[in-house]
Chain A
């Protein structure tokens, strides 16, 4: 008896929660609706996309739209290969460089450490858009215009990633390092055998952020490439829109294909991802 009463929330609270559920459900529907509409349109026939009143679902799902989108452009599969290649290489190199830099800044005493660290942090204050023009010119001078280097090298360092990893490295007790040092283990061995295995979650976080950021990048790839063979998926979508004309069922199929990798990666690691975003706000 006692227990039953205590588990029942007071009426006011339950009413409040009713409104909360109603508003949240409505909000979620609004957020998800564009994705639903994208998927639904991607499976319609051309005539169904122009039907009035609108059809919420296709009569018969037209799966071949995806094949058509895939083959619509001579290079569409190539865009995916490019995007995967650029994304994976950028991500792996960024993780390696971040580990090295974060280790130096958290575990070593060296000449000019604080000055360098402040220099690093100060670069975070510069909006990347200001650097577009000079970097574009530098890139041409290096002969990297229309190369994978242009798409990868400028993005392999993330000061935010170094900072995040450094914060984590600082929490690992110093005694471990002293013990390793006395055992004759140098920095490189200590870093690889102790620090890295102990830091899997933040390493996964920075890799994840880079994967999504790199896959979604648009303005930079648009500027530094003009060859179709080097286009990444977002730039490829633009040329698909231009070349195919307004065939919305094909556009939506192409957009769906473009979103599958990021959404899959996000869903697989959403808990980690949401936690890292939440933590980034708590520092503020």
Chain B
């Protein structure tokens, strides 16, 4: 009896209600599933089933025409491939290079925009515009800016006496070129979110701090920054997950290759090359779990944090 009630509750059944309510419940159930059918079909086929399938494929030597079960062999091969570990390392370097830089710059811009200034919407627009643009198209533009002979970057740096650099040709600059392009592209998104966080704060707290004689720096560190923590946290998580998946910027800047001497092989690039250059689908699937695992860790941290906030808020 108790089991039945629990099950009913889990399945959202209106236990113990009148006959007419039940009648409506069953009619709604039928209709609801009709409404949800296309969504569930697409999601089931292209989001849920492939998770299971990715695992199954990873147990096979899976080529386009032949498939052979080989157990955990793909995992063994991936984990003993130095290039795979290099790709994990490169991905982490990219994350470490973009996320703090982007947060710092975005917070700075948002604090400036939060002052009583004119043209705020113009500035906001200027910073946000790159975010909506096509990665391939803007990466083409940056490819041209980075050009070692005729590029804009070397010309501008030349005004300050900096010797021209081979931005795209020398491996020491490769990560930096991708980081600059990525930060430029996504900065505006982070600015808009920080700005919303700042404008959503209770003005009374600032007035109270001012009345108590706090200076601007004290107000920032003791009022603004603590109140902004949830926003900073959200932004960090979103940017970290986004940065884990970097691919297109590299593909375009380096003509379909992972940079000079392969120094920009990231996890997605590794998966892409294994699957669509070497046609080793099983191996690619095994490697893609590394990405899943890294994203999962970050997501769990986020969930843990959200829960903590619900409890102690």
Contact = CB atoms under 8 A, between A and B. Distances in A.
Whether chains A and B associate is yes
B125 A270 contact: yes
Interface stretch (A59-67, A126-134, A168-176, A195-203): A126-134
Interface string B175-195: 000000000100111001111
A89 interface: no
Contacts of B104: none
B92 to A, nearest CB: 16
A133 B195 contact: no
B93 interface: no
B150 interface: yes
Contacts of A103: 35
Contact of A138 (B53, B117, B132, B291): B53
A100 B129 CA distance: 32
Interface residues of B, number: 106
A225 B215 CA distance: 60
Counting chain B CB atoms within 10 Å of each CB, which of A128, A132, A248, A284 scores highest?
A284
Interface string B264-293: 000010011001100001001100110110
A212 interface: yes
A72 B192 CA distance: 38
Say whether chain A's binding surface is mostly helix, strand, loop, or mixed.
helix
A104 B30 CA distance: 11
B84 interface: no
B60 to A, nearest CB: 11
Contacts of B48: 119, 123
Contacts of B295: 125, 127
Contacts of A115: 10-11
Contacts, number: 290
A101 B234 contact: no
Contact of A123 (B11, B43, B237, B251): B43
B299 A130 contact: no
Interface in B80-123: 108-109, 112-113, 115-117, 122-123
Contacts of A54: 150, 152, 155
Contacts of B200: 282
B137 A31 contact: no
Interface in A20-56: 20-21, 23-24, 27-28, 30-35, 37-38, 41, 49-54
Given A127-B244, A133-B281, A238-B252, A187 B28 contact: yes
Contact of B141 (A20, A38, A125): A38
A108 B135 contact: no
Interface string A103-147: 110001111111110011001011111111111111010000000
B192 A111 contact: no
B71 interface: no
Interface string A1-33: 000000001000000110011011001101111
A85 to B, nearest CB: 17
A134 B189 CA distance: 31
Contacts of A218: 134-136, 248, 251
A41 B144 contact: yes
Contact of A278 (B133, B155, B192, B289): B192
B53 A137 contact: yes
Interface string A200-238: 000000000000100110110001000000000111011
Contacts of A116: 36, 40
B275 to A, nearest CB: 5
A24 B117 contact: yes
A114 to B, nearest CB: 6
A258 interface: yes
Contact of B150 (A35, A52, A134, A156): A52
A130 B51 contact: yes
B196 A282 contact: yes
B126 interface: yes
Given A103-B35, A281-B197, A130 B248 contact: no
A130 to B, nearest CB: 5
A24 to B, nearest CB: 5
Given A215-B134, A255-B141, A278-B192, A24 B113 contact: yes
Contacts of A114: 10, 12
A234 B134 contact: yes
A277 interface: yes
B4 to A, nearest CB: 14
A32 to B, nearest CB: 6
Nearest to B144: A248
B197 A282 contact: yes
Given A100-B39, A223-B276, A259 B133 contact: yes
Interface of B: 10-14, 24-25, 28-29, 31-33, 35-36, 38-40, 42-43, 45-51, 53-54, 57, 62, 64, 108-109, 112-113, 115-117, 122-130, 132-138, 140-142, 144-145, 147, 149-150, 152, 155, 184, 187-189, 192-197, 200, 230-231, 233-235, 237-238, 241, 244-245, 247-248, 251-252, 255-256, 268, 271-272, 275-276, 281, 284-285, 288-289, 291-292, 295-296, 299
Given A27-B126, A219-B272, A255-B141, 9 more contacts: A21-B117, A41-B144, A97-B38, A120-B39, A127-B245, A129-B245, A154-B45, A157-B43, A281-B234
10 contacts: A104-B32, A120-B39, A129-B268, A129-B291, A154-B42, A157-B43, A238-B256, A262-B133, A278-B192, A282-B231
